[in-house]
Structure 1
Amino acid sequence: MLQRYKKILVPVDGSFESELTFKKAIDVAKRNGDDTQIRLVHVVDTRAFQNISSFDTAMVEEVTETAKKTMEGYVKEANEAGVKNIDFSVEYGAPKAVIAKDLPEEEGIDLIMIGATGLNAVERLLIGSVTEYVTRTAACDVLVVRTDEDNKPVTKKKHK
């Protein structure tokens, strides 16, 4: 019996790694059938804004609008590739909890596809990697994308 995923969560943050993850999610959705849904999510880490003394809601709105435009482009790309069952949301809070627990429970997610990197080494040391947390705590399957579309290791040269 083949494992078929019905609801795939793909966190996107505008990075090269998340774009690569999105492209691989399209392929997975196509292989799993027309009833497979891709759920894109961008999580605005509200804790980052709490440290700004003159907190301005315009900043959050700007980040939200940029994320929405990026995800609208991804939806269009997925539609052009033949994946019609795709939607997105912008969420607010701690990315680790939203991606690993909140959305999977609320939406019945059965696969999270997430990029392997995103934070620099110092941030990973101090606050921990979102990807590491998701792989350790999510109740559903997690696929960590580490390679390009040809399944070759991603190198710095490919980022440019």
Structure 2
Amino acid sequence: MTLKYSHILVALDGSKQAEWAFKKSVDIALRNHAALDLVNVVYNRTFGMIEAYDRDYSKKAKIAAREILEKYKKEAEAAGVETVETIIEYGVPKEKIPREIAGRTGADLIICGATGLTGAERIIMGSVSQSIVRYAKCDVLVVRTEDETGRE
């Protein structure tokens, strides 16, 4: 058993919690000389209803995801992470990340924020971090913000 990570996958959705997960992932990647995969899974189960009002919603969601991931990629590279890849997929994040993407990328650590959704979205979709912890075949680090821990 090794205590070193070589391939880190970080789930990013644009939330404050994801920002904290990203910052931790960069630090861990640097300490371990690990590759870093930045992933955003665009939740597409509601596209049918939304696209009845906005035909370009799917395209807009992908563009927004790309902008988020490219910003983070530049930050990680500027910090010194040598290998940074971005992954954007459509589907259900809590299923795709631990069951498909982690295995396909060879991740030995997944990092995600503790929350990132509103209460109503969590009721409908379920907790992404909870599902990642439950179904991942590798280590998982769930990051909390200072607000959530009570520390300053």
TM > 0.5 between the two?
A: yes
CA contact (8 A) 2:20 2:144 kept: no
Letter in 2 for 1:12: L
Which of 109, 112, 123 is the matching residue for 2:110?
A: 112
TM-score (norm 2): 0.89
Counting aligned pairs with the same residue, the percent is 43
**Measured at CA, do residues 2 and 102 of structure 1 come closer, stay the same or move farther in structure 2, by a change above 3 Å?**
closer
What corresponds to 2:56 in structure 1?
Answer: 58
Runs of 5+ consecutive residues of structure 2 not aligned to the other structure: none
| RMSD across aligned positions (CA) | 2.2
Could you report, residue by residue, the CA deviation over 1:27-72 in whole angstroms, capped at 9, with x for unpaired residues? Answer: 0001102xx1110011111102133362755211111111111211
CA distance in 1, matches of 2:88, 2:103: 17
What corresponds to 2:93 in structure 1?
Answer: 95
CA distance in 2, matches of 1:127, 1:78: 30
Could you report, residue by residue, the CA deviation over 1:59-97 in whole angstroms, capped at 9, with x for unpaired residues? Answer: 111111111112111111111111121110110111111
Question: 4-13 or 120-129: which moved more?
Answer: 120-129
TM-score (norm 1): 0.85
Whether 1:154 aligns to 2:147 is: yes
SS in 1 for 2:64: helix
**Measured at CA, do residues 69 and 46 of structure 1 come closer, stay the same or move farther in structure 2, by a change above 3 Å?**
same
Whether 1:84 aligns to 2:77 is: no
Moved over 4 A (4+): none
Whether 1:24 aligns to 2:17 is: no
